[in-house]
Amino acid sequence: MDHQPGPGQLGVERIAEPGSASAVRDEFARLYDASIGPLYAFVARRSPDRESAEGATVRTFERALGSIRRDGAGPRTTLGWLYRLAGHAVEPMAGGPAARLARALGRDLGTGLRRLEDQHRQIIVMRYFDGLEPADLRVTLGLSEATLTASLDAAVTAIAPTHPARARQGLEAALERFVTTRRRDEREVHSPGFAAALRERLLTRPAPATIAPSESPSIVLAPPRRSRPGARSADVRTPPPSHSGHGVPGPRWTALAVAAVLITSAVAVRGSASPAVIANLFDTNRAVVVRDGSLAPLSGGEGLLAGDVVSVRSGGHATISLGGADMRLEAGASIRVVGGSPDAIAIEQIQGRVRHRAMLTPDSRYAVTTGPLTWTVHEAVFELARESAAIDGDTVDLRVREGAVRLAGPDVAASVVAGRAATARLRDGSIDLATGDIERLEAPSPWLAEPSEAAES
């Protein structure tokens, strides 16, 4: 039963080497035209309203275009790959796919679904709620064919250990109902105007300029120093990242969804009077920026420059997009934009709690500094909270939700993986590091929560 286009149907099997603007444009256009419909529907099922779905769709294609410009297009640029990118662009909500599938299964099977391990629940949801075929599912979850087959069988069996056939029948019946309902559900259909405008903006948008060293320092990560005796070091393998209702359609996409992310970057040239925009602000409330010594309020859609300090006042929040990464600043948080390029993004977290999501290539880096410590990732979801005290010094708390975060600083080095936490205390020039598991009762922000967690909260 073919509910979604498979990878071979996207028309991007030819490889376009990076560097050819016309080839990149042609390959991206084919990818966009073949996938905008199913990709938007996938995102809409995970979004509270049309505005949020359009914003997440913009961010997904923005990241896809940046990746194709960097690495070229080929067999990897499939619909499953876009689903994987979308998993980082969507802000999960309560009552999402896992909760809806559980209700459709009924009391007994629904309870079995809720009790599954996170990865098994994701596989079941994407297969029997979204209707993803195995080829797309493998790419989306980063699993081999054998691992996916074994995991899917194990997940179905775990829902009803004594009656696995009943579980499979219930899941197939639920999928059929979802597919039938979606044919009449306008909330999963994008606005033609939105799709056309987004396509035009993406295809005519110039490639971002590389920030000149004189305007924005590059990130240079020195090899970690040998840890002093007693310092903790946890070198652990990074597990594959996991991925995890609608409002009335409205015409607000032009101002809020497209313009907030698709701001054309100014070209960075040494000595130019127009510095490069290296980050974009959207979904903001009570946020201000200090630029060249002047304080000004911020609104969605504004571009940020190297050296800008963004702060969020009481009761507010701000979300910042930096190419392949997003940050969510909570009330009381402040950050400085240090620099950004296709290969390196650098942020200084001055104070408060910030939630970070990065999805970069393995040779690219997203680095957050907190005093003498640098937290580096290329693909991860994590939270950092920094508090300063005149007597006790700084305390930095880390919670890793997906992927792994590498820590480097004077006499300390560690790698903290998903499900783990770390606390660094900086006092009198020394660093005390403690690591442990994230408390099971600790609820993550809905902005970072897995769909299953958000659904059951």
**Domain ranges (residues) in the chain:** 7-204, 253-456
Q: Looking at residue 85, what is its pLDDT?
A: 86
CATH number of 253-456: 2.60.120.1440
Lowest mean pLDDT among 1-5, 183-187, 265-269: 265-269
Residue 147's contacts (CB-CB under 8 Å, 6 or more residues apart) are none
Confirm if 28 and 64 have CB atoms less than 8 A apart.
yes
Q: Looking at residue 264, what is its pLDDT?
A: 36
Q: Is pLDDT larger for residue 217 or for residue 86?
A: 86
pLDDT higher than threshold 80 for residue 396:
yes
Q: Looking at residue 304, what is its pLDDT?
A: 87
- Please write the tens of the pLDDT for every residue from 34-89: 999 999 999 998 888 888 888 889 888 988 888 887 777 666 678 888 988 888 77
Question: Over the chain, what is the mean pLDDT?
Answer: 75
Question: What average pLDDT does this structure show over 102-126?
Answer: 89
pLDDT higher than threshold 90 for residue 159:
yes
Highest mean predicted confidence (pLDDT) among 64-73, 169-178, 426-435? 169-178
How far is residue 18 from each of residues 201, 256, 378, measured CA to CA in Å?
A: 20, 31, 20
Confirm if 18 and 69 have CB atoms less than 8 A apart.
yes
Q: What is the pTM of this model?
A: 0.49
The structure tokens 């999960």 sit at 92
Q: Are strands 344-359 and 365-370 parallel, antiparallel or unpaired?
A: parallel
Lowest mean pLDDT among 130-144, 239-253, 287-301, 327-341: 239-253
Q: Looking at residue 275, what is its pLDDT?
A: 65
The model's confidence at residue 201, banded by pLDDT at 50, 70 and 90, is confident
Q: Looking at residue 454, what is its pLDDT?
A: 34
pLDDT higher than threshold 60 for residue 5:
no
Question: What average pLDDT does this structure show over 131-136?
Answer: 88
The first and second tokens of residue 186, run together, are 């306008």
The structure tokens 């974009």 sit at 280
The first and second tokens of residue 414, run together, are 């560690």
Residue 154's contacts (CB-CB under 8 Å, 6 or more residues apart) are 120
